Amino acid sequence: MVDNGTGTTEFQLGTKSGSRGISGCVVSTESTAQTPKWSFDAKTDTDVDHCKLYGCTFLDSSTFDLPLSATYVETLSCTFEGCGVVTPQTSKMEYCNFISADTYAIALSSTTLNIKYCNFINPTNSAIQITTTGTYQFYDMVFTGTSASGPYDIENTTAGLVTIQNNGTSNAQYSNETGGGTTEFQSTKTISVHIEDQNGNNIQGAQVYVQKSSPTTYTSVATGNNQGDGDFVVQESLDADCPATGWLKVFDKSTGKQHNYRYASKSSSTKTFTFPTNVTGTDDGNGTSTTISETGIGSKNIVEGDTIRNTTDGSWAIVLKVEANQVTTTKLSDGGSWASDNYSVHTLAVTYDDNDTVQTPLMNKETDANGDASETFNYQSDTPIIVRIRKSSSGDTRYNPYNTTGTITTSGYFLTAVLIQDSIVS
């Protein structure tokens, strides 16, 4: 495809109706047995501005390259049968069928993926070839005629980690690692908890904790998890269903204490949990053994459950409550005071070794104004869980703890919990 040299170059086959393509045409070789094939090239000439393909059937092409700029490019409700590799770049491609692809149905080189609701049927080699590491979100991408011995859903040509997150009806599960890398498949489901009182009123600020009935326990590396570090490294490989972001519960064997840390990302290849950006500050002199006083501290990235370190004397505590200008904590580990001392959140409170262990809860959140708390879960198989809910902050209406069990299934997990007011302390 060659542009006209000036103005806007547009190419369109078929018609768009709502979110679908209709009234397209059929483009084919004269005979599928012939050696010369036809090709579609809208990439080489970078001045092709608009390329829109609606409701078409393409048979027996050798290559099919869409424009590098995806702004005005979309392919809707098209069928590619017996074709060579289709390169969509980052353009929109929805409701398409890829049937009996000669080698690969499509090739992806970017995690900026705008392909959804597509079927991949009986590929010759692999349905999708991926050449760049990262996480790819699949939405209703259905694979048929693939297996563990090939043809495959994914060919990973990289030397690193490619993560496929299956959403909706997506069922990618088979991979071929030709570059020496690793492919991890995740099926995202929702854990959703709604909390209300006996009168049907939503309860905000209730703490919801969800964990596997038989959680995986990881072990700290012998050296390298040092006080003040912004990450935590373990010895074991991370579970495929380990949350992408979440909490660490670290058990310090030498003291018998538990420290809680939030992590913003994880790396399966390096077995590392990386924390959010370090939050620091200084008490204004009015703090006590259990309170930090600082104007605006409530706007910082500090939440109930965080481990907070006194960087002046090296002690630590757990955050119990966050207010606009004050944070309430447990007593400092050395029995001292926060008054005029410096603090740090999202760094290790102590140095750990290989006697110390770690678990990762599936959810540890407070409910919002609608009484809701939710989290995504990388589903591998039906997973039994325990659920613990509490709302007993000082100065607020207090409720009896709520405990239950359940199972995360292919539909996720949904719970409505009714909390009973604590008649003794309320």
Cβ–Cβ under 8 Å, residues 98 and 118: yes
Cβ–Cβ under 8 Å, residues 296 and 283: no
Residue 244 has pLDDT above 90, yes or no: no
For 199-209, what is each residue's pLDDT tens digit?
999 999 999 99
> What are the two backbone dihedrals, phi and then psi, of residue 230, each rounded to the nearest 5 degrees?
-105, 20
pLDDT band at 155 (very low <50, low <70, confident <90, very high): very high
Close Cβ partners of 392 (under 8 Å, ≥ 6 residues apart): 398, 399, 401, 422, 425
- 1, exposed or middle or buried, with CB in 10 Å at 0-12, 13-18, 19+? middle
More confident residue, 423 or 116: 116
Q: How many CB atoms lie within 10 A of CB 131?
A: 14
For 332-360, what is each residue's pLDDT tens digit?
999 999 999 999 999 999 999 999 999 99
pLDDT band at 375 (very low <50, low <70, confident <90, very high): very high
Q: Beta partners for 88?
A: none
Sequence length of the chain is: 426
Q: How many CB atoms lie within 10 A of CB 395?
A: 6
What is the rounded distance in angstroms from the CA atom of residue 49 to the CA atom of residue 165? 32
Residue 242 has pLDDT above 60, yes or no: yes
% of the chain at pLDDT higher than 90: 78
Which structure tokens are listed for 345?
């959140």
3-state secondary structure of 416: strand
From 37-46, 176-185, 201-210, 369-378, the region with the lowest mean pLDDT? 37-46
Q: In degrees, to the nearest 5, what angle opens at C-alpha 19 toward C-alphas 14 and 24?
A: 15
- Cα(first)–Cα(last) distance of the chain, in Å? 74
- Residue whose tokens read 């077995």: 271
Write down the pLDDT at residue 425. 63
Is the bond preceding 67 in cis, omega lying within 30 degrees of 0? Answer: no
Q: How far, in Å, are 60, 165, 166, 213 from residue 139 at the CA level?
A: 27, 9, 7, 29
Residue 132 has pLDDT above 90, yes or no: yes
What is the rounded distance in angstroms from the CA atom of residue 254 to the CA atom of residue 26? 72
Write down the pLDDT at residue 33. 75
Q: Which of 70-79, 122-131, 263-272 has the highest mean pLDDT?
A: 122-131
Domain ranges of the chain: 9-180, 189-212+377-418, 216-360
More confident residue, 56 or 186: 56
Write down the pLDDT at residue 189. 87
What is the rounded distance in angstroms from the CA atom of residue 10 to the CA atom of residue 52? 8
Largest CA distance in the chain: 85
What is the rounded distance in angstroms from the CA atom of residue 143 to the CA atom of residue 58? 19
Whole-prediction pTM: 0.68
Residue 98 has pLDDT above 60, yes or no: yes
Q: What is the mean pLDDT of residues 266-275?
A: 92
- Residue whose tokens read 């008054």: 339
Write down the pLDDT at residue 380. 82
Cβ–Cβ under 8 Å, residues 126 and 148: no
Cβ–Cβ under 8 Å, residues 63 and 41: yes
Q: How far, in Å, are 73, 182, 183, 185 from residue 160 at the CA level?
A: 30, 6, 8, 14
Quote the distance between the C-alpha of residue 99 and its chain's center: 30
Task: Compute, in degrees rounded to 10, the torsion defined by CA atoms 47, 50, 54, 58.
Answer: 0
- Residue whose tokens read 């119990």: 320
For 217-227, what is each residue's pLDDT tens digit?
999 999 999 99
pLDDT band at 424 (very low <50, low <70, confident <90, very high): confident
Dihedral sign computed on CA atoms, order 170, 176, 179, 180: positive
Q: What is the mean pLDDT of residues 153-180?
A: 92
Residue 3 has pLDDT above 90, yes or no: no
Render the burial of 205-236: b for 16+ CB within 10 Å, e for the rest.
ebbbbbbbeeeeebebbeeebeeeebbbbbee
Among 64, 109, 108, 55, CA closest to 83: 64
pLDDT band at 426 (very low <50, low <70, confident <90, very high): low
Write down the pLDDT at residue 7. 63
pLDDT band at 5 (very low <50, low <70, confident <90, very high): low
Residue 4 has pLDDT above 80, yes or no: no
What is the rounded distance in angstroms from the CA atom of residue 395 to the CA atom of residue 193? 24
What is the rounded distance in angstroms from the CA atom of residue 193 to the CA atom of residue 418? 11
What is the rounded distance in angstroms from the CA atom of residue 74 to the CA atom of residue 88? 9
